[in-house]
Amino acid sequence: MSTSSRSRPWIFLGKRLAYGLLAILAIAVINFFLLKMAPGDAAEAMAGEAGTATPEYIAELRAQFGLDQPVLVQLGHFLARLATFDLGYSFRYGEDNVTLIFDRLPATLMLMSASLLVAVIGGIIFGVTAARYANRAPDQAISLVALLLYATPPYWIGLILILVFSVWLGWTPTSGMVDVLAFNTGWAHVVDVAHHMILPALTQAFFYLAIYIRLVRAGMLDVLSLDFVRVARAKGISESRIMYRHALRNAVLPLLTVVGTNLGGFLGGAVLTETVFSWPGVGRLMFDAMFARDLNLLLSILVLSSAFVVLTNLVVDLLYVVINPTVELK
Smallest gap, in angstroms, from Cβ of residue 9 to another protein? Answer: 17
Smallest gap, in angstroms, from Cβ of residue 228 to another protein? Answer: 5
The rounded distance, in Å, linking the Cα atoms of 243 and 314 is 28
- Is 325 near another protein (CB under 8 A)? yes
Which C-beta is closer to another protein: that of 156 or that of 228? 228
CB 308 within 8 A of CB 102: no
- Is 37 near another protein (CB under 8 A)? no
**Residue 249 CB-half CA count within 13 A:** 14
Tell me how many residues contact another protein (CB under 8 A). 20
Which C-beta is closer to another protein: that of 6 or that of 62? 6
Which C-beta is closer to another protein: that of 56 or that of 227? 227
Smallest gap, in angstroms, from Cβ of residue 170 to another protein? Answer: 46
- Is 77 near another protein (CB under 8 A)? no
- Is 330 near another protein (CB under 8 A)? no
Rounded (10°) CA dihedral 30, 34, 37, 42: -110
- Is 72 near another protein (CB under 8 A)? no
Which C-beta is closer to another protein: that of 274 or that of 317? 317
Burial level of 306, CB count in 10 A (0-12/13-18/19+)? buried
- Residues 199 to 238 in contact with another protein, rule: CB under 8 A: 226-228, 230-238
**Backbone dihedral angles phi then psi of residue 167, each to the nearest 5 degrees:** -80, -50
Smallest gap, in angstroms, from Cβ of residue 245 to another protein? Answer: 9
Per-residue DSSP letters for 14-80? HHHHHHHHHHHHHHHHHHHHHHHHSS--HHHHHHHHHT---HHHHHHHHHHHTTTS-HHHHHHHHHH
Positions that interact with another protein (CB under 8 A): 226-228, 230-239, 246, 249-250, 323-326
